[in-house]
Each structure stands twice: as C-alpha cells, then as structure tokens.
Structure 1
Amino acid sequence: GVSNFDLPLLKALEARASVQTHAVQNQKDLVNKDSEVVEYCRQNGIFYQAYASLRNHETSQEEEWVEARKQASAVAAETGHSVHQIVLRSLLDEGIGVIPRSRNPEHIQENLNVIYWELSENSLKALGVDHDEL
C-alpha cells in the first residue's frame, strides 16, 4: 500500500509496478474529499483508507469547515449520535476504511459503535456524500 498519493502519482506507480497497489491511505474528510483518488481506487479494486478524518472538524473557521460542521451537527441531532460518529459513519457508508485517533477508552468505544448503524440516504446527501455512486 501507499500513503499520501495523488492521482497522477498513483497512476505513475501503477504503470511501473510489478505488483498491483492494494491500499491507498490518504487524508479524507467531509471537506477534503479526495474524489479522484477514491474513484480510481473503486474502479481498480484498491482499498481506500482515510486518516485524519476528524482533524479540522472542531477548530477550523474556514467557510467550508463551518458549513460541514453545521451539516454534521444537524445530522447528529437528528440521529442521536455524536458529530465524530457521523463523520466516521459517513465514510464507512461510502465504502472508505477509517483510522480514527482515540485518546481514551470511552472515545474508542464511541468510535467502535459506528459499526452498528448506518446513515440514511438523506443524511448522506446532507453531508455531501453522493450515495448513488456507491
């Protein structure tokens, strides 16, 4: 597998490698969607794994992040789950693997609980996930 590869670099690797890439690990979240690499991975049977998916959700004041936080908070309020859980579940529902950072046992349990439910199509659309492409 590889990490932090954009699409041109991934294609260059694929063209030269004697072994197919099996996994790509890149930063992906509700704002930084990495759509080209995600789609390339889907089309070529490569597992895509997101890291740092929660990094800027609480602190960034950039307009895109403020809007993403607003949407995630609305979905969290509707579903009774935390914003962190909404972000992680939206990635899982998109077929993306996640690597959430956890600092305590309670947070680890909260992260694990996302495997027991799914988001509705309307919730995914509100978060900017195009469910039709899945």
Structure 2
Amino acid sequence: MQIFGVDSDEKQLDDALRAAFDIGYRYIDTAEVYKNEHIIGAVIEEYIKNGKFKREDIFITTKLPVYGMNEPERFIKKSLKNLNLDYIDLYLIHAPIPFENSGNDSSKKDETGNSIPALIPFYETWKVLEKFYLDGKLKSIGLSNFNEKQIQELYNQAKIKPQNLQVECHILFQQKELFEFCKKLNISLTAYAPLGSPGTVVKDIARFFILIRQIMQRGISVIPKSVNPNRIRENFDVFDFKFTENEMAEFDLIKQNDRLFLFEFGKNHPWHPWKEDLKKHNLL
C-alpha cells in the first residue's frame, strides 16, 4: 500500500494506516517527499508495542528525494528517525533528476521558478546506499522512475546491484519491455499507480481490483494508493480469484501504451528519463 501525505491531513493518514494494518496489509510504501514518515513511524511503534505485529512482519519502503542526492546519508538517517526503525526494508532513489536543495528540504528554484539541476553522478549517490546496505540499515536498495539506459549505467558501476525498480505500471501502460529488461538483471518490479490516474483507467475497465490482480499475476509487486478505508479494504480483496491463461492473454490485446505521470516539474533537467514522452505531449 502506498501512503501519500502531500494532499491529506495527518488524522486522515493515521486512520488510513490503521485501517490497512488491521485488514492485514504489511507492506507500506512512502517517501521523504510525502512528508508522512513520522505518522507511519508512530503507528508502527504503537502496533509493535501492543503486540499486534513484530517488526519483521512488516515491510517498509521509502525513498531518497531528488533534492537530497548530494547528501543521501543525512536523508537516510532522517527517514530511519522519522519511521522509528532500526532498518528500512527497501530504500529507493526516487527519481534520476537530482536538484539543488533549497536549505529547507525542497528543490531550490531559479529566478523563473524552475528547479535548479544538480548534476551529481548516480553512482556517487548509490555508493552511500551501498554503505548503509552493508551496515544492515537498508535491507535492500533500488531505483524509481529510471529508464533502461540509466538503470544499465548504474548497474554496470554498482558493487551492490539494484534489487528493485518502482515505476508507473497499469493496464494502459504495461511496461512489458522494461519488465523483461529488469528480469534479465534480476531486478524485481513494483507498480505504482496500478489503477492509472483519477478518471483514466478505473472507469473504463470493470472494477479496480481486477487491474490489481492482473498486475500481480504478471509477477509484479503492486502498491495501490488510498487513504479511504473502504477502498483500502477493496484493494486487499484480490486473493480469492485468479485469471486463466486465456483471460491474461486478453489483457495483452490492449495496445494502448500511455504514460500518465510525466514529472513535468523536472522537464528542464538534462537527465529527465522520459524526454520523448514530454515531446509527445508538447511539454518540451
């Protein structure tokens, strides 16, 4: 389950997290940029203290922000403190577009309001993640929103190879080529936005839990986002049915292949991973 905090109040997020844990969710995905790690940490601490689960029963993913790639050690320690954890199960570089830090843990802007790129080689950041991995503070490390060329570049330099890639993936953007590429490198894939964006996928194809099940059956980890307790319960109701091979083949007949999340905020960065998609949408 993916927990966003940018557009939600703390009580709503607290309630959503408790609903998820009580239903049986044990995988929580967050990020420094969502500004909710402290809420997750407080609930986890309470549930462990009350014996509702043990630390080893849950899996927590968080991410290094684009404005923190020149000081990853500080942000790793910050996440550990906010989450009240001795270790993080999976830590990702959030995106391959590093920006200067404003001094207030946000991207520094120029006089025109654009974020200022920080051209820090990926491996300089990755070496710090490797250090914390070897120290046992990060149990696994990976990437998010990197394209194939960027993944391969880092993979070739890394001593500890990336173990996971998190990207947009749903029925109208199935990421088939990227998935095969990752399998060859023994990198697992996690799908964010498995239902697309509001109004784009769910209204067109039956009920949303079908879309979640389809991705899971492909062998991809799924992290649907919600702060609605009813939706959280429905998203979890995907284990009592299975598509046949013929039914899965029907999904392959869908030819639409459109990226919905374009990261327009970083369109001026020379390392933006999806320049062609930006051009396609007349954003460059």
Question: 2 CA distance for matches of 1:88 and 1:50?
Answer: 9
Instruction: Report the alpha carbon displacement of residue 46 of structure 1 after superposing the two structures with TM.
Output: 1.2
How many Å separate the matches in 1 of 2:240 and 2:172? 25
Structure 2 stretches lacking a partner, 5+ long: 1-141, 254-284
- Identify the match of residue 182 of structure 2 among 41, 44, 64: 41
User: In structure 2, which of residues 164, 170, 188 is the aligned counterpart of residue 23 of structure 1?
Assistant: 164
- Note the aligned Cα RMSD (angstroms): 2.1
Describe the SS at the equivalent of 1:48. Answer: strand
Which SS does the other structure have where 2:153 is aligned? helix
1:55 is displaced (CA, Å) by 2.4
Q: Matched residue of 1:42: which SS?
A: helix
Say if 1:7 and 1:36, in contact at 8 Å, map to a contact too: no
My pick for the range that moved more, 24-33 or 37-46, is: 37-46
Report the Cα distance in structure 2 between the residues aligned to 1:104 and 1:23, rounded to whole angstroms: 27
Length, aligned pairs only? 112
Structure 2 match to 1:110: 234
After TM superposition, the score normalised by the length of structure 1 is 0.74
Q: 2-side partners of 1:117 and 1:96: how far apart?
A: 17
**1:55 to 2:179 alignment:** no
Give the drift of 1:17. 1.1
1:11 to 134, 148, 152: 152
Task: Output the CA distance in 1 between the equivalents of 2:196 and 2:175.
Answer: 15
Structure number with greater Rg is 2
Give the whole-Å Cα distance in 2 for the aligned partners of 1:115 and 1:98.
13
In the TM superposition, what is the alpha-carbon distance from 1:101 to its structure 2 partner? Answer: 0.9
1:128 pairs with 241, 252, 260, which one? 252
Between 1 and 2, higher relative CO (CA 8 Å, sep ≥ 6) is seen in 1
Compare the two structures and name the one with the higher helix fraction.
1
Q: Taking structure 2 as the reference length, what is the TM-score of the superposition?
A: 0.37
Q: Which runs of 5+ in 1 are unaligned?
A: 74-82, 130-134
Question: 2 CA distance for matches of 1:6 and 1:35?
Answer: 13
Task: Give structure 1 regions of 4+ aligned residues with deviation exceeding 6 angstroms.
Answer: none
Query: Identity of counterpart residues, as a percentage?
Result: 29
Q: How far off is 1:37 after superposition?
A: 1.6
CA–CA distance in structure 2, aligned partners of residues 122 and 16 of structure 1: 41
Instruction: State the alpha-carbon separation in 1 of the partners of residues 146 and 175 from structure 2.
Output: 10
For residues 58-111 of structure 1, the C-alpha deviation after alignment (integer angstroms, 9 at most, x for no partner) is 623xxxx69x93xx33xxxxxxxxx21111000000000011012322211111
CA distance in 2 between partners of 1:116 and 1:45 (Å): 29
Q: 1:126: how far off?
A: 1.6
